Chains A and B, each alone.
Chain A
Amino acid sequence: MAGKKSLFAAYVPVTTVSKREKITLFLVYAKEVAPDAFVSYEEITQRIYGGAKAPGAKSLEVQGVKNTMSSVRRSLMAEPYLCGLATDPIYGARATTGDGDLLETQMVRASRGLKSAQSMFTGTADLIDPRKIPNTPRYKELKTWFNQSVQPVVKAISSTDFAAKLPPPKRDPEK
Chain B
Amino acid sequence: MVTVWVLATDEVPLVIETAEKELPTVSSHPPTFWTDIRRQIVAFVLQGNKNVDEGSRFLYLRDLDSDIKAAVSHFTGRMNDAKTPLTAPISRRKLLDACEALRVPIPPVGKPVNLEIAKKNKRHASRLYHPDVTGNGNETTRALFEAAVEAYSVLEQYNQTQEQNNGR
> Chain A: residues with CB nearer than 8 A to chain B?
1-4, 7, 34-38, 40, 88, 90-91
> At the interface, is chain B mostly helix, strand, loop or mixed?
helix
CB distance from A53 to the nearest CB of B (A): 12
Q: B128, A3: Cβ atoms under 8 Å?
A: no
CB distance from A30 to the nearest CB of B (A): 10
CB distance from A66 to the nearest CB of B (A): 14
Q: Could you say which of B101, B128, B129 has the most chain A C-beta atoms within 10 Å of its C-beta?
A: B128
Residue on A nearest B141 in the bound complex, by CB: A36
Q: A40, B140: Cβ atoms under 8 Å?
A: no
> Chain B: residues with CB nearer than 8 A to chain A?
93-94, 96-97, 100-101, 103, 121, 124-125, 128-129, 134, 138, 140-141, 144
- List the count of A-B residue pairs having beta carbons below 8 Å apart: 36
CB distance from A13 to the nearest CB of B (A): 21
Q: Which residues of B contact A7 (CB under 8 A)?
A: 140
Q: Which residues of A contact B97 (CB under 8 A)?
A: 1-4
Given A1-B100, A1-B101, A90-B103, verify A38-B94 contact (CB < 8 Å): no
Among B93, B103, B134, B140, the residue within 8 A (CB) of A91 is B103
CB distance from A134 to the nearest CB of B (A): 53
Q: What are 19 pairs between A and B in contact, CB < 8 Å? A: A1-B101, A2-B96, A2-B100, A3-B93, A3-B94, A3-B96, A3-B97, A4-B97, A35-B138, A35-B140, A36-B134, A36-B138, A36-B141, A37-B129, A37-B144, A88-B128, A90-B103, A91-B124, A91-B125
- Distance, CA A34 to CA B138, complexed state (A): 9
CB distance from A109 to the nearest CB of B (A): 15
Q: A36-B134, A36-B141, A90-B103 are in contact. List 17 more A-B contacts (CB 8 A).
A: A1-B100, A1-B101, A2-B96, A3-B93, A3-B96, A7-B140, A34-B140, A36-B129, A36-B138, A37-B140, A38-B128, A88-B128, A90-B121, A90-B124, A91-B103, A91-B124, A91-B125
